[in-house]
Structures are given as structure tokens and as C-alpha cells.
């Protein structure tokens, strides 16, 4: 096994004890890993720790992407074509090496449309189950239409980075908010868009009303923000079938929000939707069969 990938299954297999997040299935549809093509000397240790922590929490599958060189040789949100191709190659190889516990998005920079469409084709052919868009262009820009059209044809979701209620421009990114993603979703009703990390920055209370009338937008709960009332607010506005538990970069805060689900008034069925059933509906059929076959506790 090449050191550039490093299969860490043996490490995660040794994690002992009942899952901290409970025995029910759990899918993380917003994960990231690091590669040897960044300035992190500890990239292997980081990846190993993520899988170990995920196993301890009870994550059965991490659906992950890599954003170019994470800023080392081109900007994180404006990755060069070469950097993004290298990152996607690494992510797809890593997912294949980890089997069912890791799935891949193909990440693209919409500023290079021809390259992005080519990457999508390569990624899908190698097993990618979704498309990742970060903050290289506002979500409502027509430059994203070709990418969304390809997602519709392939019947895969698009995970889009969002800054909740963006009130100004932020350095080194062309960040979108829920209103802008809603405009893209309205133009492409056949595509499911995953609105990233309502706990990841900005005014989360602004987002559910902004996307309420767009049923093809599903929000993920990831991000380091763990405000009391955030999940309750989202449930009231759009309901459990349009919410996904997710972790992004911080599994510790992901665990906090996972434990908070039981205190939101959500039913067991609604919690199951957020934990795994919505992901199983949204991603290509059979994407998670292997990990779900590990067993679903009787209700």
C-alpha cells in the first residue's frame, strides 16, 4: 500500500466500546481528509485520528472531499486544475482503499468549467457519489449551471459550501449564502443540493426561511457552532427529512449535536432520518448498503 494513501482500517477495527453516538446507523455526508500534497506534516496522523474518532462515535461511512492542496500551492477555494486533479485522485484512491467506510465526492472549481466537467466524469467513473463545490464562485452564478446539469444527469447530489447570511465579502473566498443557493436550486429542481454546515459560521437563523420553499435543498448540521435552539429552529422550518447530521472538520462538535437530537422534540423516526435515512435516499441507490448491512437495531 502506497504511503500516499495509507489504509487505516486496522486502526479503526481496534476501537473498543459501544459507540458514543449510540448503536443506530450514522452516516457523515460532509467529511474531509488531508493528503501528502499540503503543508501538513501530520496528514497521515490526522486521517487516522478521524477514522478512529468516527468509529468511536459510530460513523459507518464518511463521504469526503479534498479541496486542492488546502492552500499550499493554490488557494483553498480557488484550487488550480492541477491541484484539484491531484486531490481528487488521492481522495478516490483513499476511498477505494478503505472500502465501504469511506466514499468520495469529486471536488471542482467552477471557474475552470471544462476542467470541472472532465473531473466530474473521471470521478463518477471511479466511484464518486457526489459533487463538492466550495467558495470559488457564488452559487447563483450561471457558471454553475453546467455542473448542476451534469449532477442531474448523473443523479448525484451537490454539496455546496455556504456562509450563513453572508453580509459582506470574505477574504480569499467567493462565499454563498442560502438565498444564493436557493436561486441555483430553483433553476435545477432535479438536483439535490446539500447546504453545508449551518453551524459553520454566520446567522444560522436566516437560512431555513431562505430555503424553505426549495424542497431540493437539504441542510447539513455540521460546523463548530453548537448553539442551543439551532437544530430546533431548522426542524420547525423545514422538517427532519431535509436535515442531515454531519461533522465537517470537527467530530467533537458533531458528537455534541448528535446527542442534542434527542432534546429537540424529534421523534425516533425523525432522528433516524437525520442520522442516516436521508443520506441513503439522497445519494445513489446502494451507496451505503454495505455499512447498513452491518445491522439496524430493531425499533
pLDDT band, very low/low/confident/very high, at 14 (cuts 50, 70, 90):
very low
Question: Once rounded to an integer, what is the mean pLDDT over residues 66-83?
Answer: 98
Question: 262, 271 in Cβ contact below 8 A?
Answer: yes
Q: Which CATH number belongs to the domain containing residue 74 in this structure?
A: 3.20.20.140
User: Would the pLDDT of 297 be above 70?
Assistant: no
How many distinct structural domains can be found in the chain?
1
**269 domain residue, yes or no:** yes
- Mean pLDDT, rounded, for 156-169: 94
Position 7 in a domain: no
Count how many Cα atoms sit within 13 Å of the Cα of residue 218 in the half-sphere of its side chain: 25
Between CA 71 and CA 67 the distance in angstroms is: 8
Which pairing describes strands 130-133 and 27-32: parallel, antiparallel, or unpaired? Answer: unpaired
Please indicate, yes or no, if residue 5 is contained in any of the structural domains. Answer: no
- 297 in any annotated domain: no
Is the pLDDT confidence value at 94 over 50? yes
Q: Residue 159 falls within a domain, yes or no?
A: yes
Residue 3 belongs to a domain: no
Is residue 8 assigned to a domain?
no
Q: How high is the pLDDT of residue 5?
A: 55
pLDDT tier, 200 (very low <50, low <70, confident <90, very high otherwise): confident
User: In this predicted structure, what is the pLDDT of residue 293?
Assistant: 87
pTM tops 0.85: yes
Average pLDDT for residues 181-205, to the nearest whole number? 95
User: Do the domain assignments include residue 4?
Assistant: no
Distance CA 12, CA 16 (A): 9
User: Above 50 in pLDDT, residue 13?
Assistant: no
Residue 180: predicted pLDDT: 97
For 15-40, write each residue's pLDDT tens digit: 568 999 999 999 999 999 999 999 89
Instruction: Note down the domain range covering 40.
Output: 24-292
Amino acid at each position: 500500500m502506497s504511503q500516499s494513501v495509507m489504509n487505516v482500517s486496522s486502526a479503526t477495527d481496534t476501537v473498543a466500546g459501544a459507540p458514543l453516538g449510540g448503536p443506530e446507523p450514522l452516516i457523515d455526508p460532509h467529511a474531509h481528509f488531508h493528503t501528502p500534497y499540503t503543508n501538513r506534516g501530520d496528514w497521515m496522523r490526522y486521517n487516522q485520528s478521524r477514522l478512529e474518532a468516527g468509529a468511536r462515535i459510530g460513523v459507518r461511512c464518511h463521504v469526503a472531499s479534498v479541496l486542492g492542496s488546502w492552500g499550499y500551492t493554490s488557494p483553498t477555494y480557488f484550487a488550480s486544475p492541477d491541484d484539484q486533479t491531484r486531490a481528487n485522485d488521492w481522495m478516490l484512491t483513499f476511498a477505494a482503499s478503505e472500502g465501504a467506510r469511506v466514499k468520495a465526492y469529486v471536488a471542482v472549481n467552477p471557474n475552470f468549467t471544462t476542467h470541472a466537467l472532465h473531473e466530474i466524469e473521471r470521478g463518477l467513473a471511479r466511484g464518486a457519489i457526489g459533487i463538492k463545490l466550495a467558495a470559488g464562485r457564488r452559487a447563483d452564478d450561471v457558471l454553475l449551471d453546467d455542473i448542476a446539469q451534469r449532477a442531474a444527469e448523473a443523479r448525484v447530489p451537490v454539496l455546496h459550501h455556504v456562509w450563513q447570511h453572508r453580509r459582506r465579502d470574505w477574504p480569499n473566498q467567493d462565499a454563498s449564502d442560502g438565498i444564493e443557493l436557493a436561486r441555483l436550486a430553483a433553476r435545477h429542481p432535479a438536483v439535490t443540493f446539500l447546504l453545508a454546515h449551518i453551524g459553520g459560521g454566520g446567522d444560522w437563523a436566516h437560512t431555513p426561511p431562505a430555503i424553505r420553499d426549495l424542497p431540493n435543498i437539504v441542510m447539513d448540521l455540521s460546523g463548530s457552532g453548537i448553539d442551543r435552539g439551532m437544530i430546533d429552529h431548522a426542524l420547525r422550518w423545514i422538517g427532519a427529512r431535509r436535515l442531515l447530521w454531519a461533522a465537517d472538520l470537527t467530530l467533537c462538535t458533531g458528537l455534541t449535536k448528535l446527542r442534542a437530537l434527542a432534546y429537540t422534540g424529534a421523534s425516533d423516526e425523525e432522528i433516524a432520518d437525520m442520522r442516516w435515512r436521508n443520506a441513503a435516499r439522497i445519494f445513489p441507490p446502494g451507496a451505503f448498503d454495505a455499512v447498513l448491512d452491518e445491522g439496524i437495531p430493531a425499533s
